Structure 1
């Protein structure tokens, strides 16, 4: 059987329909530290990325209920704490404060922020060490 070459996916984006594109773009830039243009809102070289689209109707803006819309991995607990402090200082809406949960394999620490339309972005790390 012939070995197939598997193409590599470099990154992915969450597509979010927003109620006010200009306000959302400003929030993602100022509060979340994203580089924002007419196509994307990204940070850390597409480590976190969004495609923000103006909703035609407010009913089209539908954040997940009781869950995240996006979840991003951060390498260490130290970096996660630094990110939390950065976002909080920049005015991000904190949905949940950092918390640690113990697992069989170690500890997981996470927190989340909410955008202006209620979309929740979670950040987590399973590595205590730097």
Structure 2
């Protein structure tokens, strides 16, 4: 049986040049004509110019969700998450969800979210304190 090597999310964007700049400068992705990837495709996007701005449709919030997510990425520890948050802020990221803790039976989850130029929300989270 064949194995999938990686996957990417397809993003219709209003301005391909502006989006490529965001994904490169803010998220630190390697960007070429349409690909924006980092960490060996752990985070990957195929950016496509939208035919019309009405075609750009970030996700609405889910039931009980305050901040909707279009992408959710994981890092290993809360410390790495805090470092990543500070790095994104220093690169000019627009935060739409400040870092927050959620307690569960198995432990404490921490996450935050930023948005791209077309209001797609990219969240980052970690479940390990150390």
- Normalising by structure 1, we get a TM-score of 0.91
Output the aligned Cα RMSD: 0.9
Matching of residue 127 in structure 1 with residue 128 in structure 2 = yes
Q: Which residue number in structure 2 is paired with residue 3 of structure 1?
A: none
Once the two structures are superposed, residues 8-60 of structure 1 have per-residue CA deviations (whole angstroms, 9 ceiling, x without a partner) of 22221111100000000001111111111113101111111101100011110
Q: Which residue number in structure 2 is paired with residue 60 of structure 1?
A: 55
Q: Which residue number in structure 1 is paired with residue 99 of structure 2?
A: 98
Q: Which residue number in structure 2 is paired with residue 82 of structure 1?
A: 83
User: SS where residue 32 of structure 1 aligns?
Assistant: coil
User: SS where residue 22 of structure 2 aligns?
Assistant: helix
Aligned counterparts of 1:115 and 1:40: Cα–Cα separation in 2: 15
Aligned counterparts of 1:118 and 1:27: Cα–Cα separation in 2: 12
Matching of residue 24 in structure 1 with residue 25 in structure 2 = no
- Larger Rg, first or second structure (1 or 2): 1
Q: Which residue number in structure 2 is paired with residue 110 of structure 1?
A: 111
User: SS where residue 27 of structure 1 aligns?
Assistant: helix
Aligned counterparts of 1:108 and 1:10: Cα–Cα separation in 2: 28
Segments ≥4 residues shifted beyond 3 Å: none
Unaligned runs of 5+ in 2: 62-67
Q: Which residue number in structure 2 is paired with residue 43 of structure 1?
A: 38
Unaligned runs of 5+ in 1: 1-5
- Normalising by structure 2, we get a TM-score of 0.91
Q: State the number of aligned residues.
A: 124
